[in-house]
Amino acid sequence: MELFLSQILNGLAIGQVYALIALGFSLVFGVANIINFAQGALFMLGAFIAYSAIAWFGLPLIPAAIVSVVIVAILGLLLERIALRPLMGAPYIAPFLSTLAISTIIDQSAEIIWSPESQPFPASISSTTFFIGNAYITVTDLVIFGFGAAATIALTLFVSYTWTGRALRATAQDPAAAAQLGIRTDVMRQIAFGLAGALGALSGILVALYFQSVFPQMGIPFGLKGFAAALLGGLARIPGAVVGGLLLGIGETLASAYVGDSYRDAIAFSLLLLMLLVRPNGLLGGGKLNALGGSGAAAGAMPTTSLLASASSQLSATRAYYLPAWGFLVVGAAFALVPLLVSSTYVLQALIYGFIFALLAVSVSLVSGAAGILSIGHAAFFGVGAYAVAVLARPYGLSADVTLLAAVVLTALVALIAAIPLLKLSGHTAALGTLAIGQIGFLVFLNWVSVTRGPMGILNIPHPVLEVLGGLRFATTGQKYWLVLGLVVIAVVIAERYVSSPIGRTWRAIREDRLAAQASGLPVRRYILLAFAISGALAGLAGGLFAYVQQVVSPESFTVETSILILTMAVLGGLGNLSGAVLTGFALAILPEFLRGFEEWRMIIYGLLLLVALRVRPQGLLGAR
C-alpha cells in the first residue's frame, strides 16, 4: 500500500511533465490545426541545451534552464516559419510530414553534436525524501510537480485573461473570422509555436532532472507520450491535457512498479492505442477533433478530408506515371541479368537491400497512399517478418518455404490486429497511432528476451533452402540476389494488381471520403483491414528476406528511424503509386553506398529531401495516385 501511494505521488510528478508536453501539442493543434511531430525534438533540444549550458559553460541550473527555454522558443518560431508557412494551402498531410522531416533532422543533428550515447544530467535537486503518512516523495518530484503546475497555471491565465491569449483562442476557433477582426493570425500561429517550444524545453529539462540523464533519442517516445496525454484529454483543451498527463504518468509508474520497468513505455503506448479504440475523442470529450478530420471524422460526424487533396487542388490535377503489373516483370527480368555481368558481392549486396526497401516502400505506399492511413510504424511489421524467419530457421531449422510463408502470414495477422484501434481514426491521429504501434513493436523485440534474445539479437541464421524447388540452397550472394529479386517482383506484381483492381479503387474512395464510401454501401472497415493485412504481408516478406540476407536479426534494424525512412520513400515516390515507391525505395536504400564516411548524415539527407520535396513536388516523383 505504501508502495502504491508512493508510486501515485511519483506518477503525478512525471505526469505533470507529460501534461506540459501535451500542452505544446494542444496549443499548436488548436491554433494551427497541425499535429507538430517535432514537439518531441524541441523537448529533447530543451534538455540538451540546458545540459550544454551547465556542462560546457558552467552555468547554474536556473540560468541554464532560462537560456534553454528562450533558445527553443525561438526555434519553435523558426520551425513555423521554415517548415510550415510555405505549405499553406498544400495537401492535408504536407505540414505533418514537414514537421516529421524537421524532427528527423533535429534528432540526427543532436546525435552528431552530442553523440548518440546517453549522458548523465549534470545538475540535480536534493534527493531528500519526505514521508506523507507511509508514502514517500522526493524533493525532486515535488519541484518537478510544482514547476509543471506553475507553468500550466501561468499558461491558463495567459490564454484566459490577456489580449494575446484571447486572440489565440479566437484564431483557434475560427481563423478566418479572427483575421476579419484584425487579428494577425500568422503572428498568432508563431506565438503558438514559440510557446510550444518554451513548454517543450521546460518539460525536457524537468525530465532530465527526473531521470538524471539525457539522450538524443528521447524526443520521439516522450513526444508520443505527450501526444497520448493530449489525446487522452481531448487534444485541444488545457485542463484535458493536464488530466491526461497525470493519468498517463500514474498509469505508467504503477505499471513499471508492478509489471517491470522495461515495459514502462510499452504500457504507455498500449494505453494510447486502447484509448484510440474506445474513446477517440478523449476522456473529457472534445468535439473539436471531429471538425479537423480527426478521430470522429470516420464515424461520420464531419466530412473526412482527402489526404492528398488540397485547397489549391493542384495535386489531383497532376498526372501520375506508373507501370502496369507486367512492367515489373520486365524490370525484374532485366535486373536478373546483373549477377551475370557483375561479380562484386558488394554491388549485389547493395542491390539486394535496394529490392528489400523497394518492397517496404510499396507496403507503406499501399496502406498510406491507397487506403489513406499514413504509417509511421511499418518497421514493426518489417521486424515481425524478420524475427519470424530468424526464430523458425535458427532454433527450429525449418526450410525457407515454411519460414517465409510463416513470416508473411504472421505479419499480415499482426498488421490486421494492429489496425483495429486505427479504424475510427483518420489523418494525423491515425499516423500517431501507427507510430505507437511501431514503438510497441520495437520494445517487444527489445524486451521479449526469451524469443527475440533481446538486444543481442538472433545470430547465424542459416542460408535459405527451398524444399519446393527440391531442396535448392541459396548460399552465395548471387544466389540470394535471385531469390530476393524473384520474390520481391512477385510481391510487387500482386500489390500492383490489387491497387489497379476494383479493390484499389475502393481504397482510394475510402481515402477520399470515408463517409460517402460507407453511405455508398461499402464495408469500410473490412477494406481498411484488408489493406493493412496485405501491407503487413508485404512488409513481412521484406523482413523475412532481410533476415536471410543479414543472417543476423536485432532490434536496432526496426527503430522508428526505419519507419520514417520507409514512409519518406513512399511519399517521395508519390503516395499510392507503387512504381514511384519501388523507384524511390530502391534509390534511397542504395544512396548510403555513395555516402561512405557520411553515414551519420544519412537521416539528415533524407529529412532534407522530404522537406524540399514537400515544397516543390508534394505529389511525389512519379505523382500520387
Partner 1 sequence: MAGEGIIVDNVSRIFGGLRAVDGASLKLARGETVAIVGPNGAGKSTLVQLISGVDKADSGTIHVDGVRTDRLPPDRIARLGVGRSFQTSRVFPALSVWDSVLVGVQPRLIATASGRLLDPVTESLGALLGLPFWRRRVAAQEAAAETALKLFGDRLWPRRDQPALGLSYANRRRLEIARLLAAEPRYLLLDEPSAGMNPTETEELTQLILDLRRSHPHMGILVIEHKLSLVRRIADRVVVLNQGKVLIEDTPDHALDHPEVVEAYLGRPRAGSNFQDAHHG
Which residue ranges make up the site for partner 1 (CB under 8 A)? Answer: 300, 303, 306, 308-309, 313, 315-317, 494, 497-498, 501-503, 505-506, 508-509, 512-513, 515-524, 526, 530
Instruction: Indicate the length of the chain as a whole number.
Output: 625
- For residue 154, give every residue at least 6 positions away whose Cβ sits within 8 Å of its Cβ, in sequence order, or none: none
**How near is the Cβ of 497 to partner 1 at its closest, in Å?**
5
Quick one: angle between helices 94-114 and 219-232, nearest 10? Answer: 140
**How near is the Cβ of 448 to partner 1 at its closest, in Å?**
30
**How near is the Cβ of 222 to partner 1 at its closest, in Å?**
36
- The most distant pair of C-alpha atoms in the chain lies apart, rounded to whole Å, by 78
Q: Nearer to partner 1 by C-beta: 257 or 490?
A: 490
Q: What is the DSSP string of 380-395?
A: HHHHHHHHHHHHHHTT
What does the alpha-carbon distance between residue 568 and residue 603 come to, in Å, rounded to a whole number? 10
Burial 445-478 (b: 16+ CB within 10 A, else e): bbbeeeebbeeebbeebbebbbeeeeeeebeebe
| 91 three-class SS | coil
Q: Nearer to partner 1 by C-beta: 247 or 299?
A: 299
**How near is the Cβ of 99 to partner 1 at its closest, in Å?**
24
**Cross-strand bridge partners of residue 465:** 473
What does the alpha-carbon distance between residue 419 and residue 423 come to, in Å, rounded to a whole number? 7
Q: What is the DSSP string of 151-201?
A: HHHHHHHHHHHSHHHHHHHHHHH-HHHHHHTT--HHHHHHHHHHHHHHHHH
CA dihedral 305, 311, 314, 319 (to 10 degrees): 0
**How near is the Cβ of 247 to partner 1 at its closest, in Å?**
27
Q: Nearer to partner 1 by C-beta: 391 or 529?
A: 529
**How near is the Cβ of 492 to partner 1 at its closest, in Å?**
13
Q: How many CA atoms lie within 13 A of 548 on its CB side?
A: 35
**How near is the Cβ of 75 to partner 1 at its closest, in Å?**
35
**How near is the Cβ of 511 to partner 1 at its closest, in Å?**
8
Quick one: angle between helices 477-500 and 502-512, nearest 10? Answer: 70
Q: Are 203 and 20 in contact (CB under 8 A)?
A: yes
What does the alpha-carbon distance between residue 160 and residue 426 come to, in Å, rounded to a whole number? 31
What does the alpha-carbon distance between residue 345 and residue 352 come to, in Å, rounded to a whole number? 10
**How near is the Cβ of 621 to partner 1 at its closest, in Å?**
18
**How near is the Cβ of 315 to partner 1 at its closest, in Å?**
8
Nearest to 488, CA basis, from 370, 332, 381: 332
